[in-house]
Chains A and B, each alone.
Chain A
Amino acid sequence: MSDDNSDQLEVLTGKHYVTGNLAVAEGSLAVGCKYFGGYPITPSSEIAEHMAMRLPQVNGHFVQFEDEIASIASILGASWGGAKSMTATSGPGYSLMVENIGLGMMTETPCVIVNVQRGGPSTGLPTLVGQQDVMQTKWGSHGDFEPIAISPSTVQECFDQAITCFNLSEKYRLPVTFLLDEVIGHMSERLVIPTKDKIKIISRKKPDVPPEEYLPYKAGKDLVPPMALAGEGYNVMMTGLTHDERGYPDISAEAQEINVRRINDKIRKNKKKIIQLEEYMLDDAEIALVSFGTTARSAKGAVNRAREKGIKVGLLRLITIWPFPDERIQLLADQVKKILVPEINYGQVCKEVERTVHGKTDVKGIFKLGGAIHSPEEILKEIERGTK
């Protein structure tokens, strides 16, 4: 096989039967990921293992590091070096990564972090499911930033949304978190990989001015500055310190207002373009479920069972968790008597829903603390209770 064919190897067009973790890896390759820096951790390791095998085939690099801190630092470096880059981990590893996720936010460095969630806190349940890192994704790193986090519910979505994660990270220049959970990461389902021309690939905007006129952190209307890479003669300057449009440190309240406001606003003001939701039987619903990830499958099962019993219930599935779909949930609050939030944690998305609805409707969480997913019957029981 010559070098020229490595291009087609990025996209393994056809029907496959693979786990969510493998689908994430193949989706990342299909969108052009060329660098993976990682550290083994259950239940995400299959992503690293697969990338170790696949990246060298497509002229990419896989490097296994001494820890998760080095892994995330390396993918930021690789991104500035011009590669679409990623890492994959689980809660404990994500905890170690959050400082440099902050560096990525501040320096506006595109990259993707996959978090295959397991039960926590601490070592918790290494091999069993959890959805307890929703808030860590939002608030884990210090300071104000607006993260993007996407949560898939099928193996197909693991592939499709891995592509979206890379595209959003490139478009808006930030680290994007792909929030899987152990069940979706390890289960096998049909995956259909389209031909290469059907895959939408977005790459970071490059400067259209010569180096002497380039201001690395001057953004246009979309609030996202064009990104020059190392080695292109632009003498790139990057710092985690608060900086001006030249990228020079500026330790002042004024610079902070401009810098930090913009990196938040580029997401806030583009929320509508970023957020993806699935609405299921919501039109006439009197009770709504809000769920995500594997739990949303059980929630859909509960909706089907309740509908058979004539209960008007629907599901709002959060494909995008961050930014949070406040506007849609507010509309839902005007429509339904009750919102139920099944999730595998002790009330993370539920609290966001409560915040959003301002007491306009009842909100109740259906919590499992990790280790098992909800059965549709468990959720159905709460739906039936809600009708009384």
Chain B
Amino acid sequence: MTEENIDLIESHEHPLDGYLRNGRIPHIFCPGCSLGSIMTVIVDSILAAGFDPKKVAVVSGIGCTGRIAGYLNFDSFHTTHGRAIPFAIGLSVTDPERKVIVVSGDGDLFAIGGNHMIHSARRNADITVICVNNFNYGMTGGQAGPTSYKGQFQSTAPYGSVEEPFNLPDLAASCGAVYVARWTALDVRRMKDSVVEALLKKGFSFVEVLGSCPTTYGRRNQLAEGKMILEHFKEHTELQHGADTREVGISKDGPMIVGKFVDIEGRPTLTDHLLSLQEKGRASISKK
């Protein structure tokens, strides 16, 4: 390589420069992990949605996906395990102009944080939740979790997981989410369009992203490389917009149904309700 070429390379800016925190990269994600590309999609989507970057906040819980908030150069909050959503609600209601995005994993959002997940969908909190589902607890070394399908091998399921997994889109939809979609880490373009829609949606929007975790999931389930997991996604993915969410559960070697499942307009949000309570509160005084 000539010196001239080196100059050329150095003069190029990465498109995400300024949106990732200086000094935080390289990230901690394993080779073959899809979180890097998912993170790129999230930033692209935030930019494409046209928000004032000052008015964007990203909140994470604990886990590999939970680290994403800390890499992004927005207001970013790395909270405790399972508690990103209620933290995000506090952040959201204090400024109706703020766009609050929760990015966290399946164990964080649906096991330890499951109660917050369902209740915030019920109350239609003004947040977007992006759940990266890697089918296991990656950061702690590959234990089974609420999304592990039957027959999946993990460190705490050495004979294969025996429990039924949660069907995340169905759970979110049945609790009242106004936007529900699922993509694999391979569907970056569709995922981006969908995340943009979710971000622009008023109320509780939910996007599940099936991610690749070769290190602690794939290795134990004959998918030892990231590429193998993505190939598995490719072979098993079926695009079905508007699918009945009751039919999109994931099983071993079964189809992985992706698409936009729910998109409802007009349901008042938590913020709408709180602002109308303020009107009632003020009216109660003027009566006196």
Q: Do chains A and B touch in the complex (CB under 8 A)?
A: yes
A37 (CB) vs chain B CBs: closest residue: B90
Q: State whether the Cβ of B55 lies closer than 8 Å to any Cβ in chain A.
A: yes
C-alpha gap A230/B88 in the complex (Å): 12
- Please state if A63 and B89 are interface contacts (CB–CB under 8 Å): yes
Min Cβ gap B272→A in Å is 12
Please indicate which of the listed interface residues B85, B90, B97 has the most CB atoms of chain A within 10 Å of its own CB: B90
C-alpha gap A85/B23 in the complex (Å): 33
- Please state if B277 and A103 are interface contacts (CB–CB under 8 Å): no
The 8 A CB mask of B67-99 against A (1 = contact, 0 = none) is 000100111111110110111111111110110
CB neighbours (8 Å) of B97 from chain A are 231
A64 (CB) vs chain B CBs: closest residue: B123
Min Cβ gap B28→A in Å is 9
CB neighbours (8 Å) of B2 from chain A are none
C-alpha gap A81/B94 in the complex (Å): 6
Min Cβ gap A214→B in Å is 13
- Please state if A73 and B91 are interface contacts (CB–CB under 8 Å): no
The answer to whether A75 and B282 touch (CB under 8 A), given A66-B119, A236-B75, is no
- Please state if A70 and B70 are interface contacts (CB–CB under 8 Å): no
- Please state if B87 and A73 are interface contacts (CB–CB under 8 Å): yes
- Please state if A56 and B280 are interface contacts (CB–CB under 8 Å): yes
Q: State whether the Cβ of A237 lies closer than 8 Å to any Cβ in chain B.
A: yes
CB neighbours (8 Å) of A241 from chain B are 78
Min Cβ gap A72→B in Å is 8
Q: State whether the Cβ of B274 lies closer than 8 Å to any Cβ in chain A.
A: yes
Q: State whether the Cβ of B24 lies closer than 8 Å to any Cβ in chain A.
A: yes
The 8 A CB mask of A88-117 against B (1 = contact, 0 = none) is 000000000001101100000000000000
- Please state if B74 and A78 are interface contacts (CB–CB under 8 Å): no
- Please state if B75 and A240 are interface contacts (CB–CB under 8 Å): no
Partner-binding segment picked from A1-9, A340-348, A376-384:
A1-9
Q: State whether the Cβ of B21 lies closer than 8 Å to any Cβ in chain A.
A: yes
B115 (CB) vs chain A CBs: closest residue: A66
CB neighbours (8 Å) of A63 from chain B are 89, 93, 270, 274
C-alpha gap A55/B73 in the complex (Å): 33
The answer to whether A235 and B282 touch (CB under 8 A), given A73-B83, A230-B95, is no
The answer to whether A231 and B75 touch (CB under 8 A), given A61-B274, A80-B91, A237-B21, is yes
B283 (CB) vs chain A CBs: closest residue: A1
CB neighbours (8 Å) of A99 from chain B are 80
CB neighbours (8 Å) of B116 from chain A are 66, 69-70, 73
Q: In which size bucket is the chain A interface?
A: 35 or more
Min Cβ gap B66→A in Å is 10
C-alpha gap A232/B278 in the complex (Å): 25
- Please state if B282 and A3 are interface contacts (CB–CB under 8 Å): yes
CB neighbours (8 Å) of B23 from chain A are 246, 248
- Please state if B91 and A237 are interface contacts (CB–CB under 8 Å): no
The answer to whether A74 and B89 touch (CB under 8 A), given A63-B270, A67-B115, A83-B94, is yes
CB neighbours (8 Å) of A102 from chain B are 80
Min Cβ gap A40→B in Å is 15
B contact residues, total (Cβ < 8 Å): 45
Please indicate which of the listed interface residues A60, A230, A238 has the most CB atoms of chain B within 10 Å of its own CB: A230
* Dominant SS among interface residues on chain B: helix
> Which listed residue, B55, B77, B119, touches A80 by the CB 8 Å rule?
B77
- Please state if A81 and B95 are interface contacts (CB–CB under 8 Å): yes
The answer to whether A240 and B78 touch (CB under 8 A), given A1-B285, A66-B119, is yes
- Please state if A57 and B281 are interface contacts (CB–CB under 8 Å): yes
A residues 238-279 touching B (CB-CB < 8 Å) = 238-241, 246, 248-249
Q: State whether the Cβ of A233 lies closer than 8 Å to any Cβ in chain B.
A: yes
CB neighbours (8 Å) of B90 from chain A are 35, 37, 73-81, 83, 85
Q: State whether the Cβ of B54 lies closer than 8 Å to any Cβ in chain A.
A: yes
Min Cβ gap B26→A in Å is 13
> Which listed residue, A3, A56, A240, A248, touches B80 by the CB 8 Å rule?
A240
> Which listed residue, B86, B93, B284, touches A70 by the CB 8 Å rule?
B86
Min Cβ gap B174→A in Å is 16
- Please state if A56 and B98 are interface contacts (CB–CB under 8 Å): no
- Please state if B282 and A6 are interface contacts (CB–CB under 8 Å): yes
CB neighbours (8 Å) of B59 from chain A are 77
The answer to whether A77 and B86 touch (CB under 8 A), given A35-B94, A82-B95, A83-B94, is yes
Min Cβ gap A111→B in Å is 10
- Please state if B281 and A55 are interface contacts (CB–CB under 8 Å): yes
- Please state if B281 and A70 are interface contacts (CB–CB under 8 Å): no
CB neighbours (8 Å) of A103 from chain B are 79-80, 83
A67 (CB) vs chain B CBs: closest residue: B115
CB neighbours (8 Å) of A65 from chain B are 86, 119
The answer to whether A231 and B55 touch (CB under 8 A), given A66-B115, A73-B86, is yes
The answer to whether A231 and B95 touch (CB under 8 A), given A70-B83, A77-B86, A237-B70, is yes
Min Cβ gap A285→B in Å is 46
- Please state if A56 and B89 are interface contacts (CB–CB under 8 Å): no
Residues of A in contact with B (beta carbons under 8 Å apart): 1, 3, 5-6, 9, 34-35, 37, 53-63, 65-67, 69-71, 73-83, 85, 99-100, 102-103, 230-241, 246, 248-249
8 tightest Cβ-Cβ pairs between the two chains A and B: A77-B90, A56-B281, A81-B94, A78-B90, A70-B86, A74-B90, A239-B78, A77-B87
Residues of B in contact with A (beta carbons under 8 Å apart): 21, 23-24, 54-55, 57, 59, 70, 73-80, 82-83, 85-95, 97-98, 115-116, 119, 270, 274, 277-278, 280-286
Query: Could you list 5 further interchain pairs (A-B, Cβ under 8 angstroms) beyond the known A59-B278, A65-B119, A77-B90?
Result: A56-B274, A77-B77, A83-B90, A235-B21, A240-B79
Query: Would you mind naming 14 contact pairs between A and B with Cβ atoms under 8 Å apart?
Result: A55-B281, A57-B284, A65-B86, A69-B86, A69-B116, A73-B80, A77-B88, A80-B91, A81-B91, A231-B54, A231-B57, A238-B77, A241-B78, A246-B23
